[in-house]
Amino acid sequence: MPRVAWATDSRPSRLAGHPATRETIMKVRRGKFSGAVGNEVYVSSKQGQVVRSRPRRPPSATPDRQRLRDNLSRVASLWHTLSNQQFAAWAAAAKKEGMLPYRFFCQINATLAAYGQPRLLDPPKREKLRPNPVEALEIRNPRGEFTMRLRVPEPPAQFTFVFGLRSCSRGISVPRRNGVLLGPLPQAVRGWSAITDLYVNKFGQPPPGTRVFIWTRQLLNGRTDALKLTFADVPPPEH
């Protein structure tokens, strides 16, 4: 009859190479506790301690997210239509960027698609973007005629885009997230680009006493520069 060994050692066991974590540690919590540990949520209620699983909600399919998925799907399908010569050209261009050909192709064309530009079957020429010349945001409200414009002392890249957020409190100096795409930067007239319609069509007219954040970004051959931020406060109507 085989001998059976019973574990009598009371010392805690450890898996070699796998230290204990908040998700794997086998420690029983005592007393009242509220909060999340791993995939479990603890709640102290009138009926006592309650433990439930953390809900996993799929991200909501907003129009922007759906548009992004559609763009990526079209770009991936386009990759399979390339000729052998085009494959070789993308591979050579991707090697200079230190990327895989497919990733480089998707990066360039997904960026173009996101900004409403035509997709490319051949790798674009790499050109260096000049510094973004767009400067301060100015908001005026003379006699209730609300206007917004950006100072543009010199021409930016051919494709420059405007982003914005809904107006917020003047106490906010740094926005928590980047803005949403409003549209292409209108052509400047005498050093000023009017963006009133771009903003109002998306968010409506902001009330006086609030703050508006605006970003601009240049696009050239599927490559973008960093978002450039500016903001201004909405003044009361001038009589």
Residue 219 and residue 157 in contact, taking contact as beta carbons nearer than 8 Å: yes
pLDDT above 90 coverage of the chain, percent: 60
Residues 80 and 39 in one domain: no
Q: Give domain status of residue 14, yes or no.
A: no
Burial (CB count <10 Å: 0-12, 13-18, 19+), residue 109: buried
Q: Is 109 a residue whose pLDDT tops 90?
A: yes
Q: Clarify whether residues 71 and 157 are in a common domain.
A: no
Tell me if 107 is assigned to some domain.
Answer: yes
Predicted local confidence at residue 10, as pLDDT: 45
pLDDT digit string (tens) for 58-105? 767 777 778 888 888 999 999 999 999 999 999 999 999 999 999 999
Is residue 223, in this structure, part of any structural domain at all? yes
| Domain edge (last residue) among 39, 57, 75 | 57
Confidence at 56, pLDDT banded by 50, 70, 90: confident
**Does the residue 142 lie in any domain?**
yes
Q: Do 232 and 169 contact (CB within 8 A), yes or no?
A: no
Q: What is the pLDDT of residue 35?
A: 76
Query: Which tens digits make up the pLDDT trace of 116-152?
Result: 899 999 999 888 899 999 999 999 988 778 999 999 9
Query: Residues 109, 162: one domain?
Result: no
Identify whether 15 is part of a domain: no
pLDDT computed for residue 27 by the predictor: 56
Residues 143 and 227 in one domain: yes
Low-confidence winner among 36-45, 73-82, 150-159 (lowest mean pLDDT)? 36-45
Q: Is the pTM of this model over 0.75?
A: no
Residue with tokens 């540690």: 25
User: What range does the domain containing 203 cover?
Assistant: 137-233
Query: Is 41 among the domain residues?
Result: yes
pLDDT for the residue numbered 8: 42
| CATH number, domain containing residue 216 | 2.60.40
With respect to residue 19, please indicate whether it lies within any of the assigned structural domains: no
Q: What is the pLDDT of residue 22?
A: 59
- Residues 161, 198: one domain? yes
> What is the rounded distance in angstroms from the CA atom of residue 162 to the CA atom of residue 198?
8
Q: What is the pLDDT of residues 198-212, one digit of tens each?
A: 999 999 999 999 999
156 and 229 co-located in one domain: yes
Is 120 a member of any domain?
no
144 and 101 in one domain? no
Residue 179 in contact with residue 215, Cβ under 8 Å?
yes
pLDDT at 144: 73
Residue 190 has pLDDT above 80, yes or no: yes
| pLDDT for residue 194 is more than 70 | yes
Residue 29 near residue 44 (C-beta atoms within 8 A): no
162 shares a domain with 146: yes
Return the closest-CA partner of residue 214 out of 201, 195, 197.
Answer: 195
Overall residue count recorded for the chain in this entry: 239
Can you say how many angstroms the Cα of residue 174 is from the centroid of all Cα atoms in its chain?
A: 16
Number of domains in the chain: 3
Q: In terms of domains, do 51 and 69 share one?
A: no
The pLDDT of residue 225 is: 93
Residues 224 and 147 in one domain: yes
Are residues 107 and 187 both part of a single domain? no
Same domain, 69 and 42: no
> In sequence order, what DSSP letters do the residues of 66-112 get, joined into one string?
HHHHHHHHHHHHHHTT--HHHHHHHHHHHHHHTS-HHHHHHHHHHHH
Count of other CB atoms within 10 angstroms of residue 207:
9
